[in-house]
Every structure is written in structure tokens, then in C-alpha cells.
Structure 1
Amino acid sequence: MMSLLVFKERLKEFYAKFDIYITPVIKFVYSYLAFWLMNRNIGFMAKLTNPLVPLVLALACSFLPYSAISFLAAAFMLAHLWAVSFEVTLVMAVFVLVVALLYYGFHPGDSCLLILTPIFFVLKIPYAIPLIVGLSGGMISVIPVGCGIFIYYTLLYVKQNAGVLTNEISADMMQRFSQIVKSLFGNKLMLVLIAAFAAAIIVVFILKNMSFDYSWIIAIVAGTIAQLVVIFIGDITMDVSVPVSELIIGVVVSLILSGIYTFFVFAVDYSRTEYVQFEDDDYYYYVKAVPKMTVSTPDVKVQKINARKLQRPQR
């Protein structure tokens, strides 16, 4: 444990010293991964599938705020959808516009969740999103996470039905539009996962703000249980099936990632908890103080010995 705490402190010092360089690198990796995954899964516009396009866009995003990165990613996604179906593009464009106006107009801090949520789904570890969001955000973060789930399943629908969507002779525009809307918003698995993630975020957020010991660890476990309960209820009532092996592996990896996040953000020593009571003219205050687990990094000094001084004089 001591070596991990030393590593944590060194990592914090390194980031504080070089954050002006680290932040653009993080944005570059985040952006490039989003553009590359879209090219790999819905790369229907040939001009955008050139490997240089995601690279150039990611380099530009390195110096932009996350809200601007989300805007470029949405435009990139709509361009690929346009090459497949006008109807799907219109539905997604209206959805993005409504979300931008009704939510991000007054709460822009969670825009990265629109991209991170589909990425975690592609990486087969989506169950980590509600746990980490519940620990770091608020209950209102349910909205961008739910929107990210909708975006993922929309792209998955386009990928699986690209041949049908590009066949304009099969039906008229209104019929295709109606079928697309029904397929997108009637996806039972998507609705169950939105409910499961929302329940997990709310449970984790409520429990981690309570004052009992090990609240963050208990919140992670309870949030995982909340996800599984909602998924099992959806399996029974809505006949939604989730691969058991994929679910177990995803949950285990999500628990590990959440534990790592807790260690780096909220590592405290409950054995040295103190309770303080004081008052002023209007109130009595009862304070529970839990010290953080911190150590000072060892200051290693290397002394160089000049080999010439060790040479004995020749007789």
C-alpha cells in the first residue's frame, strides 16, 4: 500500500508540473479514439475513412474544449450517417440539437459523456460509466449518459441495417422514416440499459455523499447491484437478453476500474477518523473529519563520485 501511495503522490506531482502538456495529449487520445471507432464501425463516407482525417481532427481537438470536441464528433457522425440514410441523419440531427439546447445550454460540463459512453460500450465495459459518473458527477449526469446510450444503439442499428437503409426503392420516405423512429426508440435493450444506468448513478451519488465509513466502496457495490437488478427485471418483464459472460466480465472490469478511480480520488484513512463539535451564535456544528491517505515522496539524492579522485598516485 505504501508503494501505491508513493506512486500516487509522484503522479500528482508529475501532472501538476506538466499539465499544460498532458491535457492536450489526453484530449488527442480521447478525440482520436472517437473518430477512429466511428470510421471502423460506421465508415460509410469514403472521404472520412482516410487515416489522416481522424489524426488531423484529433490534433485540432487537442487545443479545444470538450464541448467543441463533442460538436466536431457529432458533425463527423452525421456525415457518415448521411452517406447511408437521410432519415437516420435527420433523426440524429434533431436529437443532438434538442440535447444541445435543452441540456448543454445550461450544464455544459458533461459533454464528454456523450462520447465516452459509446466508447465504453465498444470496449465492452459500459457498466463502469454509471459507477464513475455517480462518484464524480451528480444525478443530472443521467441525461448525458442516457443520450450516449441512445447514440451507441443508433450507430449499431445503422451498422446492422446499412443494406436496407440504402435501398431507397423498398419503401417511400415517410414509411422508412416511421420504421426508423420505431426501431430506434423501441429498442427494449437500450431502454433497459438507460434505466439500469440511471438507477446506478442515483444510488452511487446518494451513498457516496453519506458520512458512514467506506461510503465510496459501498456505493460502488450498491450501484453494481442496482444495475444487475434492473437488467434482470428487464430480462423477465421485457424479454431482454444480455450475454451472461459479457455481463460478468464487464461488471468485474467495471468494479476494478471504479476501485482504481476511488484510490486516486478518495483514498482516506477511516482508522483515524475524528469527530469535532463547535458552535457559534446561531448553530451547533458536528463535524466528522476523515484524514486523507497521503505520504511524502522520498527525496532520493544521488551523489556522483569522481573516479579520478580514487586513483592512487603511482610510485
Structure 2
Amino acid sequence: MMGLLVLRERLKEFYARYGIYITPVIKFIFSFLAFSLMNKNIGFMTKLTEPLIPLVLALVCSFLPYGAISFVAACFMLAHLSGISLEVTLVMAVFILVVGLLYYGFQPGDSYLLVLTPVFFLLKIPYAIPLIVGLSGGIVSVIPVGCGVFIYFTLLYVKQNAGVLTNDLSTDEMQKFMQLMKSLLANKLMLIMVLAFVLALLIVVIIKGLSMDYSWVVAIIAGTIAQLSVIFIGDITADVSVSVLGLFGGVLVSLILAGIYTFFVFTVDYTRTEYVQFEDDDYYYYVKAVPKLTVSTPDVKVQKINARKLQRPQR
């Protein structure tokens, strides 16, 4: 445990010293991963699937704020969708515009979740999103997370029905649009995932704020149970097929990621908890103070000693 704490402190010191260089690298990796996964799963516009395109866009995004990165990723996604169906492109464009006007005009800090949530779905670890976002954010974060789930399942629908969307010339544009909306809104798995993520995120946000010992650990466990419960109930009642192996594998990895995040952000020593009570003219105050668990990194100095050869006196 002591070795992990020392490693954590060293990493914090390293980031504090070189954060100005590390942050663009993180943005580059995040952007390149998003563009590459979109090319792999919905690469309908062949000009954008060239290996150089995601690389150049990721380099540009490494110097942009996360809100601008989300905008570039949305344009990249719409360009791919326009290569297969104008109806899907219109639906997604209107959806992104409405979300942007109603939410991101007031709280743009969570805009990366619109991209990160589909990315985690493609990486088969989506269940980490409600846990980590719940630990780091607030209740309002349910909006970008729920919208991210909708975006992923829309892209999945397009991928699974690419041939139908491209070759269906027997119906007019309005009929195709209505059919698309009915198919998306009738997607039971999408609705169950949105419900599971929203419920888990709310539970994590509420429990982590309680003045109880190990509240973050309890929040992670409760959020995971909530996700599994909603998915299993949906599997039974709504006849939704979910891969049990993939579900438990994704949940296990998500628990590990949430535990790592907790270790680096919220490691406290409950054995030294103190309770303070004081008052003023209007209120009584009951304060619970829990010290952070920190260690000092060892200051290792290496001194090099050069051995000198003894010289014999000349006779």
C-alpha cells in the first residue's frame, strides 16, 4: 500500500510539473481513438477513412478545449452518416443541435461525455461511465450520458441496417424518416441502458455525498448493483438479449477503473476521523473531518564516489 501511495504522489508531482505537455497528449489520444473507432464502425465516407485524416484531426484537437473536440467529432460523425442516409444525418444533426442549445450553452464542461460514452460502448466497458461520472460530476451529468447512449445506439442501428438504408428506394423521404424514428424509439435495449445509466449515476452522486465512512466505495458498489438490476429486469420483462459474459466482463473492468479513479482522487484515512462542533448566533455546526491519506515521496540522492588509485612514492 505504501508503494502505491508513493507512486500516486510521484505521478501527481509529474503531472503538476509537466501538465502543460501531458494535457495535449491526453486530448490527442482521446480524439484519435474516437475518430479511429468511428472510421472502423461507421466508415461510410471512404475519403475520411484514410489513416492520415484521424491523425491530422487528432493533432488539431489536441490544442482545442473539450467542447470544441466534441463539435469536431460531431461533424466527423455527421459526414460519415451523410454517406449512407440523409434521414439519419438529419435526425442526428437535430438531436445534437437541441442538446447543444438546451444544455451546453449553460454547462459546456461535460461535452466530452457525448463522445466518451459511445467510445466506452465500443470498447465494451460502458458500465464505467455512470460510476466515474457520478464520482466526479453531479446530477446534471445524466443529460450528456443519456444522450451519449442514444448516439451509440443510433450508430449501431445504422451499422446493422446499412444495406436497407442505402437500397430502400421504394419509399419516400418522409416515410423513411418516420420508420427510422419508430425503430430508434422502439429500441428496448437502448431504453434499458439509458435507464440503467441514469439510475446508477444518480445513486453514485447521492451516496458519495453522504457523511458515512467509505462512501465512495459504497457508491461504486451500489451503482454497479443498480445497473445489473435494471439490465436483468429488462432482460426478463422486455425480452432483451444481453450477453452475460460480456456484461460481467464489462462490469468487472468498470469496477477496476472506478477503483483506480477513487485511489487517485479520494484516498482518505478514516482511522483519524475527527468530529467538530461549534456555533454562531444563528446555527449549530457539526463537522466531520476526514484527513487525506498522503505520504511524502522519498528524496533519494545518489552520490558518486570515484576511487582514486594510490600512487607509490618514487624513490
Paired residues for 1:209-220 under 5 Å: 209-220=209-220
Give the CA deviation at 1:282. 2.0
Q: Which residue of 2 aligns with 1:226?
A: 226
Q: Which residue of 1 aligns with 2:311?
A: 313
Give the CA deviation at 1:168. 4.2
Give the CA deviation at 1:241. 1.8
1:53 counterpart = 2:46: no
* Partner SS, residue 178 of structure 2: helix
Q: Which residue of 2 aligns with 1:173?
A: 173
Q: Distance between the aligned counterparts of 2:275 and 2:59, measured in 1?
A: 50
Q: Which residue of 1 aligns with 2:28?
A: 28
Give the CA deviation at 1:314. 3.6
* Partner SS, residue 167 of structure 2: coil
Q: Distance between the aligned counterparts of 1:126 and 1:168, measured in 2?
A: 33
Q: Which residue of 1 aligns with 2:271?
A: 271
User: 1:32-58: CA deviations, max 9, x gaps?
Assistant: 000010001111111111111100000
Q: Amino acid of the residue matched to residue 6 of structure 1?
A: V
Q: Distance between the aligned counterparts of 1:67 and 1:37, measured in 2?
A: 19
Q: Which residue of 2 aligns with 1:152?
A: 152
Q: Distance between the aligned counterparts of 1:168 and 1:73, measured in 2?
A: 28
Give the CA deviation at 1:176. 1.1
User: 1:185-238: CA deviations, max 9, x gaps?
Assistant: 211000000000000001000000000100000010001111111112211221
- Name the Cα RMSD after superposition: 0.9
* Partner SS, residue 106 of structure 2: coil
Give the CA deviation at 1:170. 3.2
Paired residues for 1:1-315 under 5 Å: 1-307=1-307, 310-315=308-313
Q: Amino acid of the residue matched to residue 142 of structure 1?
A: V
User: 1:76-126: CA deviations, max 9, x gaps?
Assistant: 000000000010000000000000000101111100100110011011111
Q: Distance between the aligned counterparts of 1:137 and 1:103, measured in 2?
A: 15
Q: Distance between the aligned counterparts of 2:290 and 2:299, measured in 1?
A: 27
* Partner SS, residue 278 of structure 1: strand
User: 1:49-70: CA deviations, max 9, x gaps?
Assistant: 1111100000000110000000
User: 1:225-262: CA deviations, max 9, x gaps?
Assistant: 11111112211221112111011111111111111110
Q: Amino acid of the residue matched to residue 48 of structure 1?
A: L
Give the CA deviation at 1:304. 1.2
Q: Distance between the aligned counterparts of 1:101 and 1:230, measured in 2?
A: 31
Give the CA deviation at 1:281. 2.3
* Partner SS, residue 166 of structure 1: helix
Q: Distance between the aligned counterparts of 2:277 and 2:178, measured in 1?
A: 63
Across the two proteins, how many residue pairs are aligned to each other? 313
Q: Distance between the aligned counterparts of 1:193 and 1:47, measured in 2?
A: 33
Kindly, what percent of the aligned residue pairs are identical?
A: 75
Q: Distance between the aligned counterparts of 2:152 and 2:283, measured in 1?
A: 50
Q: Amino acid of the residue matched to residue 197 of structure 1?
A: F
Q: Distance between the aligned counterparts of 2:28 and 2:137, measured in 1?
A: 23
* Partner SS, residue 285 of structure 2: strand
157-166 or 17-26: bigger deviation: 157-166
Q: Distance between the aligned counterparts of 1:164 and 1:286, measured in 2?
A: 64
Q: Amino acid of the residue matched to residue 234 of structure 1?
A: G
Q: Distance between the aligned counterparts of 1:52 and 1:161, measured in 2?
A: 28
204-213 or 224-233: bigger deviation: 224-233
Give the CA deviation at 1:305. 1.4
